[in-house]
Amino acid sequence: MRLVPDFIVQFFTKESTLYKELQTMLGFTPSNLALYELALCHRSNSNNSTENNERLEFLGDAILGAIIGEHLFVKYPTRPEGYLTDMRSKIVNRKTLNQIALKIGLKELMKFNEQDYYLRDSLIFGNALEALIGAIYIDKGYAKTRTFVRKRIMIPFVDIELLESLEVNTKNKLIGWASKQGKKIDFILIEEKLERGRKKFTIGVKLEEEIIATSTAYNKKEASKIAADEAIKRLEIAP
**Which residues are catalytic, by number?**
61, 130
**Residue span binding a second copy (CB under 8 A) among the ranges 13-21, 99-107, 121-129, 228-236:** 121-129
User: Strands across the sheet with 185-195, in order?
Assistant: 185-195, 198-207, 210-217
Options 101, 132, 134, 185; binder of a second copy; rule CB under 8 A:
134
User: Residue 52 Cβ, how far from a second copy at the closest point, in Å?
Assistant: 9
User: Residue 34 Cβ, how far from a second copy at the closest point, in Å?
Assistant: 13
Q: Examine residue 116 and tell whether it contacts a second copy (CB under 8 A).
A: yes
Report H helices in 149-235.
155-157, 160-181, 220-234
User: Residue 109 Cβ, how far from a second copy at the closest point, in Å?
Assistant: 17
Q: Examine residue 135 and tell whether it contacts a second copy (CB under 8 A).
A: no
The amino acid sitting at 147 is: T
User: Residue 4 Cβ, how far from a second copy at the closest point, in Å?
Assistant: 8
Q: Examine residue 63 and tell whether it contacts a second copy (CB under 8 A).
A: yes
Q: Say how many residues touch a second copy, by CB under 8 A.
A: 50
Q: Examine residue 78 and tell whether it contacts a second copy (CB under 8 A).
A: yes
Strand stretches in 71-227, DSSP E: 185-195, 198-207, 210-217
Least Cα distance to 125 among 44, 14, 51 occurs for 44
**Residue span binding a second copy (CB under 8 A) among the ranges 10-18, 76-84, 207-215, 223-231:** 76-84
CA gap 201, 117 in Å, rounded? 44
- What phi and psi, each to the nearest 5 degrees, are found at residue 19? -60, -40
Q: Examine residue 107 and tell whether it contacts a second copy (CB under 8 A).
A: no
Report H helices in the chain.
17-26, 33-39, 54-75, 81-91, 94-103, 106-109, 117-120, 124-140, 142-148, 155-157, 160-181, 220-234
Helix (H, G, I), strand (E, B) or coil at 13: coil
The amino acid sitting at 132 is: L
74 vs 238, beta carbon nearer a second copy: 74
**Residue span binding a second copy (CB under 8 A) among the ranges 9-17, 83-91, 175-183, 205-213:** 83-91
Considering only CA atoms, give the Rg of the chain.
22
| Residues contributing to the site for a second copy (CB under 8 A) | 1-5, 42-44, 49-50, 54-55, 57-59, 61-63, 65-66, 68-70, 73-74, 77-81, 84-85, 88, 112, 116, 118-119, 122-124, 127, 134, 137-138, 142-143, 194, 196-198
